[in-house]
């Protein structure tokens, strides 16, 4: 099989070095490890398809890897797999400024797409803290959300078309120049969010958006989480909303302590709000904040430097979390009415199962897509915490996976968010496209 793979991609792009494979078989958090037999780096969609044919015929499992920023062990192999990396599929086409779109290889980073759009006076609708390493193929596979979801929607709403290497080694290309393409099944929607279980995305046609000429950003402090959620519910429906981020006040204290970054407001909870339009939004923001139950005066930034200082509070979180070692992460989607109760009950749950742990909650409050990060949770207490936390999320009416996917970490809990008939239908689609189940076999289904 290795000789056949070398024939497809060239000897320099088939790696069997144990040290390299060990580094590739661990997830982004460092908590979950697997094993791999080879790493293959195809340089074209045709090579991806040929690699899949070789592996299928040899009975080898394949795990697809992009930027390897998965937080649910979505790229961790379990069966001595062949790792198929999309890192060489980085090509970016010219930006079509009339139709506001760009073609990108699956291995192109989010930052590269953002820069290409910005150079043409346009903006890409998804933004993540991991923008320098996350790839657009992986983001589509998990239907990633992020910091701009409240305005532009998730990754799926940015995908106009795509190219996919199917498990049988054929290539499917859905590319249309029309904006409304309603002929037949919406196949791109099938592969977006499938976490690589139905095929390997090799390229995408991505939507771009006009760049607003004016932005205003505010960070507001709240003494009460329910008051913050009420403000979030109001802001999410406002024309011109560009970002709406909840930040745990405990995280603000850690940012100040570890990074020396000044947190501009006091409060047990903070809300970052940004409005964007083709005219100044400062007065409108002030009017909207009037009457909101704030804890002191908000910090407001209009010019670029001031806005960047406010955004630093939100974007410093990843660095602060990392200073405590890999956190135990829960990516959840909750009804807005359940957020305050979930935050309270999650603290109580940790007090019972991991009393020395420190919970920090942040995320995209407009959609209820939140990230609970548990610091200082001993590895030996992880399973004692994980199951009960999943039950708490489901009991609050939430989904156990929001925008990071199910991966392999959350496979046992899929039934908490999907009914048996739903899961059976998904399995049927998987079996139709991948009868032997060799592609991303560790992901989604137990």
Question: What pLDDT is stored for residue 248 in this prediction?
Answer: 93
Q: Which candidate, 267, 266, 269, 263, places its Cα nearest to that of 311?
A: 263
Spans in the chain with pLDDT lower than 70? none
Q: What is the pLDDT of residue 440?
A: 95
Q: What is the pLDDT of residue 110?
A: 97
Separation of alpha carbons 232 and 293, rounded Å: 12
- pTM for this entry: 0.92
Task: State the pLDDT at residue 335.
Answer: 94
Q: What is the pLDDT of residue 32?
A: 81
pLDDT of residue 70: 79
pLDDT of residue 297: 93
Q: What is the pLDDT of residue 403?
A: 79
**Distance in angstroms (rounded) separating the CA atoms of residues 294 and 306:** 21
66: CB partners within 8 A, 6+ apart: 75, 85, 86, 87, 106, 107, 134, 135, 137, 138, 141
Q: What is the pLDDT of residues 313-368, one digit of tens each?
A: 898 888 888 788 788 889 889 999 999 999 999 999 999 999 999 999 999 999 99
Residue 64's pLDDT is: 95
Sign of CA dihedral 407, 413, 414, 417: negative
310 within 8 A of 217, measured Cβ to Cβ: yes
pLDDT at 191: 97
Mind listing the domains of the chain with CATH numbers? 92-210 (3.30.465.10), 212-322 (3.30.70.2190), 324-404 (3.30.70.2740)
- Quote the tokens at residue 237: 């429906």
């Amino acid at each position: 099989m290795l000789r056949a793979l070398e024939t497809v991609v060239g000897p320099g792009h088939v790696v069997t070095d144990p040290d390299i494979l060990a580094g590739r078989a661990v997830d982004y958090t460092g908590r979950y490890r697997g094993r791999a037999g080879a790493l293959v780096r195809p340089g074209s969609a045709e090579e991806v398809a040929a690699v899949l044919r070789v592996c299928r015929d040899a009975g080898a499992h394949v795990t697809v890897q992009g930027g390897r920023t998965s937080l649910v062990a979505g790229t961790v192999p379990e069966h001595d797999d062949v790792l198929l990396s999309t890192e060489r599929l980085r090509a970016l086409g010219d930006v079509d400024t009339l139709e506001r779109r760009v073609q990108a290889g699956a291995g192109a980073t989010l930052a590269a797409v953002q820069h290409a759009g910005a150079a043409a006076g346009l903006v890409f609708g998804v933004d993540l803290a991991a923008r320098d390493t996350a790839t657009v193929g992986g983001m589509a596979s998990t239907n990633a959300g992020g910091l701009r979801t409240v305005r532009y929607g998730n990754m799926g709403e940015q995908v106009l078309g795509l190219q996919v290497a199917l498990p049988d080694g054929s290539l499917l290309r859905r590319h249309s120049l029309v904006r409304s393409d309603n002929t037949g099944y919406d196949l791109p929607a099938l592969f977006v969010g499938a976490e690589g279980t139905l095929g390997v995305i090799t390229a995408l046609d991505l939507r771009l958006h006009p760049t607003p000429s004016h932005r205003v950003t505010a960070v507001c402090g709240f003494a009460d989480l329910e008051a913050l959620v009420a403000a979030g519910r109001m802001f999410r429906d406002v024309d011109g909303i560009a970002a709406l981020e909840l930040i745990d006040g405990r995280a603000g204290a850690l940012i100040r302590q570890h990074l020396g970054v000044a947190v501009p407001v006091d409060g047990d909870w903070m809300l970052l709000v940004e409005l964007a339009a083709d005219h100044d939004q400062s007065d409108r923001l002030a009017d909207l904040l009037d009457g909101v139950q704030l804890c002191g005066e908000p910090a407001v930034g209009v010019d670029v430097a001031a806005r960047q200082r406010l955004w630093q509070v939100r974007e410093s979180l990843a660095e602060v979390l990392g200073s405590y070692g890999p956190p135990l992460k829960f990516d959840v989607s909750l009804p807005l009415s359940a957020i305050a109760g979930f935050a309270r009950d999650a603290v109580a749950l940790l007090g019972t199962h991991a009393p020395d742990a420190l919970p920090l909650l942040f995320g995209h409050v407009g959609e209820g897509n939140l990230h609970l990060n548990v610091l200082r949770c001993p590895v030996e207490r992880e399973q004692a915490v994980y199951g009960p936390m999943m039950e708490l999320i489901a009991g609050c009416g939430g989904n156990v996976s929001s925008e990071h996917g199910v991966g392999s970490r959350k496979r046992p809990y899929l039934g908490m968010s999907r009914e048996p008939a739903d899961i059976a239908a998904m399995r049927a689609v998987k079996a139709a496209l991948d009868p032997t189940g060799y592609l991303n076999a560790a992901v989604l289904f137990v």
